[in-house]
Structure 1
Amino acid sequence: MTCIIIEDEIPAQKILKNFIAKIPSLELIDTFNAAIEANSFLNSNAVDVVFLDINLPDMSGLDFIKTIKNPPAIIMTTAYSEYAVNSFELDTIVDYLVKPFSFDRFLKAVNKAKERMEVADVIQEDNEEVIFLNVDKTLHKIVLNKILFIESERNYITVVTENQRLSYIDALKNWNAKLPEKTFIQVHKSFIINSLFVSKISGNFIFIKDNKIPIGRTFKQELLAKLGI
């Protein structure tokens, strides 16, 4: 995987360069001290992973992300742990590394970026795992990795994608065996979510697209652990 560093602190650059050099699958292409410098590079060069500081001299890392067309996998680096929970945007941000971070924690973030790329490749190559749901005497094709979330209410299950909302009689526990463990997480007694579509976590709620989903108290610790927070 090719990568770049956007970081204005020289000691932090050195740590990232040292960690990257230890991972054979990572190739560092360039290092930038400011977001503006990196912007033109990203517009004309393909990069798999960006290690991006939040506090930069010209603009914040979070604002910079909004300027990138088709952003690559982004691993944020920050000295402020509150960003990791309040602004967790997995649409573009794969992980947050809170300074100072260990090599083990760095490697975990890199593996998450690799996993996300592998999942994206599977979808792009149309090697999609699908199921058919019998709803109202009609078989509906569902691509598992395109499910946003699944909701349970009384004896009914509602499967939600960007284009479909299908409800039928079933139990949520039956879905845990059907779904890929790498991307689907149960966050509440009534909800299973697809972590690929999480936009942010705020307090005891997780947001997917325009949907606000509660996080159960007994599920929150496991959720944060699986997201690497």
Structure 2
Amino acid sequence: MNCIIIEDEMPAQRILKSYIKKIPDLNLKGSFQTASSANLFLKNNDVEVVLLDINLPDIPGIDFIKTVKNPPQVIFTTAYPHYAVSSFELETVVDYLVKPFSFDRFLKAISKAEKLINRQALSEEESIFINVDKTIHKLILNDILYIESARNYISFVTAEKKLTIIDSLKNWKEILSPTQFIQIHKSFIVNSRKVDKFNSSYVYIQNEKISIGRTYKESFQAQMRPSN
């Protein structure tokens, strides 16, 4: 796993680096003293785990991670135990380590992060088989951009193909994960992981512009927007 440290105190950074060196599967890709200096790195590099202090000089760690699109797993490393409850309101927070913490406690947190990452990787490769004109096609769920309904047919659209079968959108809404596949129109379900941008009227996925139905607007925006 690739990780970074965001910690403004150099003694604390040195302790984290010494712990990381003891774990063969954990690779330190960078260390930063401010959230703003780490932000660009996160945008351009593959990072699975962030070791994040809460009391940073530019922006609190909790506030910073809310601004990161598709944030990595977060392990807070802090001297302030009273932020623990609010930190766990963030979905990507794996653990909360209060300084000073032992290597064994650090290893436990890393193990938790690794298990979550492996579980997510498996779910992303989850697949289904669908019958199109007497031919069985394997479809990886995470490859789906959106599902479109037209009369008695639905089409699964990926970047490479479009598979159409006789079925209902309602049926697939009940089958698929409601946090990943969100209905935004009576004729469309979108894969939230594939959304590039959206406004009050449209969702944009790659080159597609899909209308948001009035009935679905509020629930869609509530699911997609980060909490403040």
Inter-CA distance 162–90: structure 2 relative to 1 (3 Å threshold): farther
Equivalent-residue separation in structure 2 for 1:27 and 1:118 (angstroms): 16
- Match in the other structure for 1:112: 112
Q: Which letter maps to 1:92?
A: T
Give the CA deviation at 1:60. Answer: 0.4
- Match in the other structure for 1:61: 61
**Per-residue CA distance 1:168-189 (angstroms, 9 max, x = gap):** xxxxxxxxxxxxxxxxxxxxxx
**Per-residue CA distance 1:87-123 (angstroms, 9 max, x = gap):** 3135111111111111111011101110111110111
> 1:202-217 counterparts in 2 under 5 A?
none
Give the CA deviation at 1:45. Answer: 1.0
Q: Is structure 2 residue 76 aligned with structure 1 residue 47?
A: no
Q: What TM-score, normalized by structure 1, do the two folds share?
A: 0.56
Q: Which letter maps to 1:108?
A: K
- Match in the other structure for 1:102: 102
- Match in the other structure for 1:2: 2
Give the CA deviation at 1:86. Answer: 3.6
Equivalent-residue separation in structure 1 for 2:109 and 2:181 (angstroms): 27
Equivalent-residue separation in structure 1 for 2:118 and 2:21 (angstroms): 22
Equivalent-residue separation in structure 2 for 1:147 and 1:83 (angstroms): 30
**Per-residue CA distance 1:118-140 (angstroms, 9 max, x = gap):** 11011100069xxxxxxxxx9x9
Equivalent-residue separation in structure 2 for 1:53 and 1:114 (angstroms): 20
Equivalent-residue separation in structure 1 for 2:86 and 2:66 (angstroms): 17
Equivalent-residue separation in structure 1 for 2:21 and 2:43 (angstroms): 25
Q: Which has the higher contact order (CA 8 A, sep 6+)?
A: 1
Extract structure 1 runs of 4+ deviating beyond 3 A: 140-143
Percentage identity across aligned positions?
Answer: 57
Give the CA deviation at 1:67. Answer: 1.7
What do you get for the CA RMSD once the two structures are aligned?
Answer: 2.7
**Per-residue CA distance 1:31-83 (angstroms, 9 max, x = gap):** 00111100111111111111000000001001110221111111111111122
Flag the structure with larger Rg.
2
- Match in the other structure for 2:122: 122
Q: Which letter maps to 1:64?
A: F
* Contact 2:87/2:93 (8 A) holds in 1: no
